[in-house]
């Protein structure tokens, strides 16, 4: 089996994918961020051999997390963390959030979320295709804000 990076390295891998061919965050389009997330989502990490240990989450909606309402697309990778006894301890999520100024066409999209888990016998390419279809309205736009971060949940 080829070497798989540890989940602790995931944020650095996502940053590297996003930086490919771009010199600054302000140059990122939704399409570029999506393509980076697809590449990042295809990379396998050294995770526990359970169906929920490596998941991708795609979600969007209008939220006021930062104080003012923004249409937010969240591209997330979730890793299950096990304790020394091999039992589930918690999850760690690596986020790429794309935020857009409110607009009627974006508000009309409402809210949506969808999960994909690598070891749950689902087709990754089908999931990526379906999620890209949900982004059609945004692919040519530049987000107002982009935030990359990792958090335990």
DSSP notation for the chain:
------GGGHHHHHHHHHHTT-SSGGG--HHHHHHHHHHHHHS-----SSTTSEEEEEEEEEE-TTSS-EEEEEEEEEEEEE-TTS-EEEEEEEEEEEEE---HHHHTT--EEEEEETTSS--HHHHHHHHHHHTTTTTTPPPSEEEEEEEE-
Entry pTM: 0.90
pLDDT reported for residue 86 = 81
Q: Kindly give the parts of the chain with pLDDT less than 70.
A: 1-2, 21-27
Number of Cβ within 10 Å of residue 91's Cβ equals 16
**Tell me, what's the pLDDT at 102?**
92
* pLDDT score at 29: 85
Task: Please tell me the predicted confidence (pLDDT) of residue 2.
Answer: 64
- Decide: 55 and 116 in contact? Cβ < 8 Å: yes
């Amino acid at each position: 089996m080829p070497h798989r990076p540890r989940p602790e390295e995931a944020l650095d891998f996502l940053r590297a994918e996003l930086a490919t061919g771009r010199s600054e965050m302000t140059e990122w389009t939704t399409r570029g961020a999506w393509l980076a997330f697809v590449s990042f989502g295809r990379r396998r990490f050294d995770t526990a051999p359970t169906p929920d240990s490596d998941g991708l989450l795609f979600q969007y909606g209008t939220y006021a997390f930062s104080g003012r309402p923004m249409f937010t697309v969240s591209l997330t990778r979730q890793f299950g963390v096990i304790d020394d006894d091999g039992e589930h301890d918690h999850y760690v999520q690596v986020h790429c959030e794309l935020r857009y100024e409110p607009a009627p066409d974006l508000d009309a999209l409402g809210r949506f979320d969808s999960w994909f888990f690598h070891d749950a016998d689902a087709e990754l390419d089908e999931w990526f295709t379906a999620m890209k279809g949900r982004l059609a309205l945004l692919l040519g736009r530049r987000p107002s804000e982009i935030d990359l971060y990792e958090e335990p949940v």
